[in-house]
Amino acid sequence: MKYSLSSIGQKQIMAVTGLVWAGFVLSHMIGNLLIIAGPDVYNGYSHALVSNPLVYLAEAGLVLTLLFHVVKGIRLTIANRRARDTKYALTPNGAKSPRFQSRWMIFHGSIILVFIILHLLSFKYGPGIREGYITTVNGVEMRDIYRLVVEAFRQPGYMLWYVIAMVFVGLHLSHGFYSSFASLGFYHPRYSPILNKFGYLYAVVVALGFIVPPIYVYFVL
């Protein structure tokens, strides 16, 4: 039995790749809050990021981990559905209710995947300097990503889709964060319950933080 195809091995791969993305979304969320500080700060930050050669390494890491996460997630979900081939009329409830979001992971995950693809197309691979989205900050010419983001979030449909997608990111993390530590074998009688609560906090902070830019642009700016 190969580790990478074993039931526990696949879960541990999901856990590590999920945690990498959990780290990325937190830092990306904080970075995007800079939109409140205005165009120069936001553009300057984005420019500093994309002109750092290390960004290619980070991007390759993100693509690779997401690929593994998605492939393993789909494989596990298929195997799991197959293992329960007949349906119950009723499922565990009351004092025996399981963690609520745990059975929706493939559902949130699929929405997040669609989001990421559309998101990259509209922002990362969206109109740039050649299309006139250009600005100068402290004498340096750079892409006016601020203008692009603001134009996007001024459209109600766009703003709403981002808010909804971010709710799913939060729900995914609300189970995923804690779950990944269990998958990797972390358990401690005192710290595990704290970690569980921290997972919920992490999910709420990331989701709310991401909801700020679209709401701010649409309602405040």
Choose the contact partner of 138 out of other proteins, ligand HEM, none; CB within 5 to 8 A by kind.
Answer: none
**First-to-last CA distance in the chain?**
57
Asked if residue 119 binds ligand HEM (CB under 6 A), the reply is yes
The stretch near ligand HEM (CB under 6 A) out of 83-91, 117-125, 129-137, 190-198 is 117-125
Touching other proteins, residues 53-82 (CB under 8 A): 76, 79-80, 82
Exactly one of 27, 87, 138, 219 binds other proteins (CB under 8 A); that residue is 87
- Residue 73 and residue 180 in contact, taking contact as beta carbons nearer than 8 Å: no
Rounded Cα distance between 71 and 5, Å, is 11
Identify the CA nearest to 69 among candidates 176, 199, 203: 176
| CB nearer ligand HEM, residue 94 or residue 166 | 166
- Residue 36 and residue 91 in contact, taking contact as beta carbons nearer than 8 Å: no
Asked if residue 217 binds ligand HEM (CB under 6 A), the reply is no
User: Vertex 11, ends 1 and 194: CA angle to 5°?
Assistant: 140
Rounded Cα distance between 55 and 218, Å, is 30
Contacting positions for ligand HEM (CB under 6 A): 11, 14-15, 18-19, 21-22, 25, 28, 32, 46, 50, 55, 59, 62, 69-70, 73, 76-77, 105-106, 109-110, 112-113, 116, 119-120, 123-124, 145, 149, 162, 169, 172-173, 176-177, 179-180, 183, 210, 213-214
